[in-house]
Structures are given as structure tokens and as C-alpha cells.
Structure 1
Amino acid sequence: MRNARPILLTALPLTLTTGLASALLLGAPHATATEDPATAATSLYAPEANPAAYRQADELESAKRPREAAGLRAMARTPHAVWLAGQTPDEVRNETRGIVRDAARRKTTPTLVLYNVPGRDCSLYSAGGLRDTTEYRAWVGAVAEGIGDSRALVVVEPDALALVPADCPSGEAKDAKDTETARVTATAARYAQVADAVATLGALPRAKVYVDAGHPAWHTVDSIVPRLVKGGVARATGFSVNVSNYSTDHANAWYGRLISSCLAYVDKGGKASACPTQKWKRADAQRWLDRHVPFAPDRMKHFVTDTSRNGQGPWTPPAGKYRDAQDWCNPPGRGLGARPTTRTGDPLNDANLWIKTPGESDGECLRGTEGPKDPERGVIDPKAGVWFPDQALELVRLANPAIMPAENRLPGRGR
């Protein structure tokens, strides 16, 4: 159950203030005329959207579909993450520095996603990454230099721990023994690479660092926690959940609580294998938590949640229709989720964020068929990270909460 990733887009500023301040004080409050400055939210940075979003909105406007056009523009203006990948150290240092400085001028906090680990995505839909540990260490160091003493939320390597080299398909290797040795070596390197990145970024004075933990429909808690430990979560603020996926807010909150509790239990000498997982009955899991892990949010690892596309929850594929339904890959009938905010109402959930850029494709989904069309959509899906107009419009139409304006009060065309 992998997640495909967006390609890098250069960020320029737009801002949106969302919610009230969290205990973390991630950024200076940016009060509006209707806010109490003493309780205004951390403002989250809105990079310039994919230009294709505005082109599509203009086309909808010309086609006399103003509500959909307005909804698409609202989606484009909403704060979302900037993905850093595929650049030289000098390039990523300069881009990162430009982003954090621009965010600081606007009194906002950017969300940055590192996505350049060697062997990324098992060389599948979102293949890429640097060649080796030496290159990766230099690249991460350049990101850290770019951030400096600025405020930032940093998500470290989506899927890198949930999909380690040992999990990758073995292919058609002639020497299985040599292949297995290589996979073991590459997996050990992966843990070291992520842990080193977390340590480097976690040492920054005002960065909050979250190492990715996948989503509730992928690894169970007792499976992902040892990976997080090996990936250096002890040096991080916490972890991220549901990046580029569709799990509900309720499922994500419970998954995050269980992971945080299990990390606390393991930190005191317990075994992850004893921790309750998301598959347990809720009442049984809660009894275990009450007995073994006192709820103390100030002494537990926190998390951030990707709510960019989970407004309708996960897609349930038609039973028996596909050999590999790829329910993570451009599923039909999904909607935007909760708006980004640092006021989540959950003492462990530091922020709801739009980490995946909504409207960008997950890849050319074939669902186990010969293709080339996505059999669920009847079209050839764009490559990962490319704007997907059909999906973008679905996300706007089915957003929960709604993002399209009421018909009797349409906003202007401003970007």
C-alpha cells in the first residue's frame, strides 16, 4: 500500500490564517479583523500553487462554471507543503532559504517535505532520490543551512520507513543470496540515512521535525514503531501520518495516539510487540493504555496529519474486480479534507496539514491491468506529481468541509 509523491514545485508566497494558536507556538500570530490577537493561530505558509490549477479555474470560468472555478482557486490558495527533491545542495539551500525568509516576512510557518532519500519508492511510480549516503548527508545539510534559525515544520521522507529496501520487490535477480544481502545492507543504510537527517534537522533551534509513519491501513503499530525507533524518532518532535493517503481523521487520530503511546512504552523498556494496534477493539486497547502508558502529552511524541484528500475517507474498490486495486493511487470519488490548522483539539496532534498537493496525480494507475488507461477512470492518469484536472475537480466538488462557495455569494477572480 504505497503512496505516490508529487514532484517539486518552486514556492512563492500566499498566506492564509487558520485556527487558534497551538501550544507549540510554531509561528508568530497573524491576526485578522475578526481574530483576538492573543489567541490567533499559527499562520501556515501557502506557496504558489501549480499554475495548472489556475489555468483550469480560468477554463471553468469561461465555461460558465463559476462555483467550481472559485472552489479550485480556494484550494490553490490554501496553505500546503513544499516538497524538496532532486536538487544539488546549493540549489536546495537557496530554495529553502528563500522559502523560510519569505514565510517569515509574512509571519507564517512553512511546511517542508524532504523527499530525496536513496532508493526512493522502490524505483516505482515516484522513483528517484540521491545515489548514496554521502550525497544524501550533504543534501540534508544544505536543507538545514537553508532553514537556519527560521521556523519550519519539516516532514522527513514520506514512506522511507514504511517502505524500506527489504520491502521492495526482488525483481528477476539471478543470484537470490546476493540480492538478499544487498537488500539487508540497503535497509540498514536507509535507517541510518533517515536517523541522520532527523538528527541534523532536529538540532535546528526553531524547526519541528516529524519522521513519516505511513497510514493506518498500512503498517500496524507494533510494526511501524520499531522502524521509527531505528529511524531516529527520539531526536524528532514526532511523526507524520496519512501523507498522501485517505484515512479518516478519526482513524488517523487513533493511530497517532497508539504510536505515540507505544513509543513511550518502548522508551521505558517495553516491547513494541506488546503494544495495542489499530486492529484491537478500542475498549481493549484503551484498557491497555490506561494500565501501561499514562497519558502525558508533554512527555510523548506528537504527530502531524495530512488531511489534504481525506474528506470522503478511503476508497473501497469493487470486490474481486482488480488483481491489485491500488486503492492509494488516484482513487475515484475523494474530496478535500479539513483545512490546515495548528488548532486540532488533540493534544498530541500538532497540526492538520495539506502535505500532499491536492490535484497532483499519484501516478499512472493500472490496478493490475495491462493498461494504458486507469480502468476505474477510463483515462490515462498523468505521471506522479503532474496536475490531474479530473481528480482536482472531484476533490473540490466532494470537499468535506465544503470549499466551493454558496451560489448566492461568489468571490471575485483574484488569485
Structure 2
Amino acid sequence: MPARVSARTARTLTAAVATAALAALAVAPAQATTAHRPGGERRPPAALYTPPANADANRQIVDLLRHGKLRDAAGVLAMTLTPQAVWYGDGTPAQVESSVRATVTDAARKHALPVLALYNIPGRDCAQYSAGGAANTAEYEAWIDAVRRGIGDRPATVILEPDSLALLPADCGADDAQGSLTAARYTEIHYAVEALEPLAGTKVYLDAGHSGWHSVNDIVPRLAEAGIADASGFFLNISNYRSDSELAWYGKLISSCLAYTATGGAAADCPNQFWPVNDAQGWLDAHVHTAPSAMKHFVTDTSRNGQGPWTPPAGVYSDAQDWCNPPGRGLGARPTLNTGDPLLDAKLWVKIPGESDGQCTRGTAGPNDPERGYPDPAAGAWFTQQALELVHDANPPLLPH
């Protein structure tokens, strides 16, 4: 804001901010709940934690207010005031330990449950838009040890390494002939599970991609190899756009197949998301008799799936990158621990809505995103145009009409 504004302008902006905040609070879901661990241990009642907003989001809100776009300002503010994950990637062990401790301490003070997205696996994102991560297994394990110390005995939900299992080194030609990097990936994930899951009040969820990616028969062995038996469960749809109903069915199929294989069955025999629903349900009824409370649970990312996945125009792009800043998407269901589904522990906003997926060129020479006519911001940078799209197309609506 400029150093000098008129008193009338200051009053107008203040009133607008207050109106926006009230609107946001009016649509914020009640989060009070008592979560359960598989063994029956109770956590204290918790609200999901809302971290400080991206500084550029706040700048966008102020800019919208200056231009008299009060409803848009209220919408972006409401979006930033909705519980979201806190991401940790890169940084030294000392830095991540301090930062994690500050987050979980602040959350505990507010009687809230923080969602920590850990994103530092070696070979992260197969050297694509979000390349980086620890240099090797030893460095990663030291980083995880620091996260463990930072969490301590305070509650936390851990989203462990998005894309780590759905995008193995072997999937993108990054491995050697012996498969040593993929083997190391499984070792690293299992190490993190064993380090973090035993902490009091901590639940760890592993990567299972989403329903438009791997089949159930493919992802279940990966989860097993990575140590799902020792974790609370798995996560779906991080930074993606699949619908809630599609994810619920996919998650049920994965949970059921994990239960089936735990008793000696083969993952190849399980029904997958491409089976007719009635056929798949019939198979489950005949072969899976484990109670939902004893099965592996899952969480979903609903931050941007309000309009479902984007269907690219046919025959236009050699690589449409339907996951990368697709146009016309909207915020999805508000985060909640009260899902009504015995296998679905939470709907969460893991991807920070309004932050770019990267500079998408969709198989063209670039630098413009051909769907938008201008270059997208770098991965993780604030994307003002997309933030407004998400607010305008939110489903359910973000603000009352």
C-alpha cells in the first residue's frame, strides 16, 4: 500500500478487508472432531491448521481492493484463510527442524492439526518442473531425522513425498540397469515411515498418485514395497484434479487390494478402476472381508478439483500437460476430517491453490502457455490469474451468493 492514502480510502479498504474476512469465516467449515489411529488411540479434538498465506496472495488482495474489486478480494482472502498444508523441501536439517517445530508448536497452540507435505526425496520429480531434493539416501535420512525432531510429541499429519511412488526413477528413464535408484527410493520412503509414524499423534500417508494414472494392480505393490504396512495409509490427487467420487472409488479399491494382499492374495487379481463398478464390487464382496477400521485409510487433495479434470482440445497439442495449470478449474470441497467415508480420513488442501504448477508449454516451443497466451509463473510462484479462476469456479462456491 502507498505510504500516503486519503482517510476515506483507508476506511474503505479497512471495511472491505473486514467484509472479506467475515465472508471467509462464514463459509469456513466446522472442523472440530476426534480423530482415531488404527489401534484405537484417540487424539484430542483438532481443527485443521491454516498457515500464513503466500505473501504474493496478500499483495493480490490489496491490489484488488485498490481497484474496487471487493468480491474478488474477499474470495482470494477466503481461499488463503482455508486450512492448507505446509510444504517442506530442500533446506538443511537444522533449517527444517526449526521450521517444522515452529509450525507444529503454532498449530498446537491453536488446538489445530497441521498437515506437513514433505518434498525432498532424491531425484524429486524426475528432474522436471519441481526438480531438486536431497543428494543421496544418507542426506535424505538425516533430513527426515530433523523432521522427526521438529515434530516431537505434537500432532501432525504427514503427506510423505508426493509423486515419489507414482513416479519412480524407473518410470522416467532415470535409473541404471540394476534399478539401484528405484531400490533406494523404496528404502528412503520406508525409512521415513519408520522414523515418523511412531511419533505420538503423527499419521504418515504414502503416495498413490491418482485415479487417472496407475492402475490399482500397479500401485499396490509399490505401496507394499515402500512400507505401507507400517504407515497409516496413502494419499491421492496431490496437485491434481480428479473428482471426489472417482477418488473415493479408487481409494476403496486400493485399500481393499492392500487388505487382500496382506492375507496372501496377489495384487494382479484385484479389480482396478477400469473394471465395471458392479463387477469390481462383486469381487470385493467375495474376496475382501476385512473391516474398514482394520484397512489402510487414505486422504485426498481437493484444493483444485471442484470442476474435475481438464479435457484438452483433441489433436491440438503433442503433450497437453493436463496436470499443468489447466484453465477453468475451481477450488474443491473444503478441508475436513469429517468425511462420512470409513476409509477416507480427510479431504485436505495439500497443493496451495493459487501457486503455479510450472511454465507449461504443452509440447510447443514456448515460452507462452498456448491455452493462456502468456508464460505461466515458475513452479510454486503465485499465479494471480489462476487464483481468480479457482475462486470464481469453486465448487461448492467459496462465498455466498
Task: State whether TM-score is above 0.5.
Answer: yes
Determine the structure 1 residue equivalent to 2:324: 329
Determine the structure 1 residue equivalent to 2:246.
251
Paired letter, 2:177: T
For residue 229 of structure 2, give the secondary structure of its aligned residue in structure 1: helix
Q: Distance in 2 between matches of 1:131 and 1:251?
A: 36
- Which whole-Å deviations, capped at 9, do the CAs of 1:101-152 have from their partners, x for residues lacking one? 1100100010001100000001010000000000000000110111111100
Q: What SS class does the counterpart of residue 285 from structure 2 fall into?
A: helix
After TM superposition, the structure 1 = structure 2 runs for residues 221-260 of structure 1, keeping only pairs within 5 Å, are 221-260=216-255
For CA contacts below 8 A with separation 6 or more, give which structure has more relative contact order: 1
Secondary structure, in 3 states, of the residue corresponding to 1:187? helix
CA distance in 1, matches of 2:221, 2:47: 34
Answering whether residue 115 of structure 2 is matched by residue 111 of structure 1, we say yes
Task: Answer whether contact 1:18 1:44 (CA < 8 A) is retained.
Answer: no
Q: 2:366 aligns with which of 358, 366, 371?
A: 371
How far did 1:297 drift?
1.1
Match of residue 148 from structure 2: 144
- Structure 1 residue aligned with 2:20: none
Distance 2:267 2:97 in 1: 37
Task: Give, in whole Å, the separation in 2 of the partners of 1:198 and 1:220.
Answer: 23
Q: Which residue of 2 aligns with 1:24?
A: 36
Change (3 A) 1:352 1:110: same
> Partner residue of 1:10?
none
2:304 to 306, 309, 315: 309
Change (3 A) 1:27 1:71: farther
Residue pair 1:122, 1:165 contacting (<8 A) in 2 also: yes
The aligned counterpart of 2:134 is: 130
Q: What is the count of residue pairs matched by the alignment? A: 372
Cα distance in 1 between the residues matched to 2:149 and 2:180: 29
- Measured after TM superposition, the shift of residue 358 of structure 1 is 0.2
Structure 1 match to 2:215:
220
Unaligned 5+ runs, structure 2: 1-23
Shift of 1:22: 4.8
Secondary structure of the residue aligned to 2:245 is helix
Identify which of 283, 289, 294 aligns with 1:299: 294
Mapped pair 1:53 → 2:57: yes
* Aligned structure 1 segments of 4 or more residues deviating by more than 2 angstroms: 14-20, 25-29
CA distance in 2, matches of 1:351, 1:379: 36
Q: Which residue of 2 aligns with 1:157?
A: 161
TM-aligned CA deviation for residue 373 of structure 1? 0.2
Partners in 2 of 1:213 and 1:22 — Cα distance? 26
Matching of residues 176-195 of structure 1 within 5 Å: 180-181=176-177, 184-195=179-190
TM-score for both structures, normalised by structure 1: 0.87
For residue 20 of structure 1, report the CA deviation from its aligned partner: 4.8
SS in 2 for 1:209: strand
**Which ranges of structure 1 fall in alignment gaps of 5 or more residues?**
1-13, 30-41, 171-178, 407-415
Alpha-carbon distance in 2 for matches of 1:352, 1:241: 10
CA distance in 1, matches of 2:312, 2:43: 41
Q: Deviations over 1:179-238 (max 9, x none)?
A: 6426x1101001111111111111112101101110000001000000001111111000
What do the CA deviations read for 1:345-370 (whole angstroms, capped 9, x no partner)?
Answer: 10100000000000000000011111
1:267 corresponds to: 262
Instruction: Give the distance between the partners of 1:321 and 1:139, measured in 2 at CA.
Output: 43
**What's the counterpart of residue 343 of structure 1?**
338
Q: Matched residue of 2:50: which SS? A: strand
- Secondary structure, counterpart of 1:47 in structure 2: coil
Q: Offset of 1:374 from its aligned partner?
A: 0.4
Is the CA contact (8 Å cut-off) linking 1:28 and 1:43 kept in structure 2?
Answer: no
Matched, 1:168 2:172: yes
Report the TM-score when normalising by structure 2.
Answer: 0.90
Give me the CA root mean square deviation.
1.6
Q: 2:285 aligns with which of 290, 293, 296?
A: 290
CA distance in 2, matches of 1:162, 1:224: 7
Amino acid at match of 2:380: G
Relative to structure 1, the CA distance from residue 396 to residue 112 in structure 2 (aligned partners, 3 Å threshold; closer, same or farther) is same
Tell me the equivalent position of 2:350: 355
**In structure 2, C-alpha distance between the alignment counterparts of 1:107 and 1:28, rounded to whole Å:** 9
CA shift, 1:169, in A, is: 3.8
Rounded Cα–Cα distance in structure 2 between residues aligned with 1:121 and 1:108: 30
Counterpart position of 1:80:
84
Contact 2:43 2:201 in 1 (8 A): no
Q: Which residue number in structure 2 is paired with residue 90 of structure 1?
A: 94
Q: 1:295: how far off? A: 5.1
CA separation in 2, counterparts of 1:116 and 1:401?
33
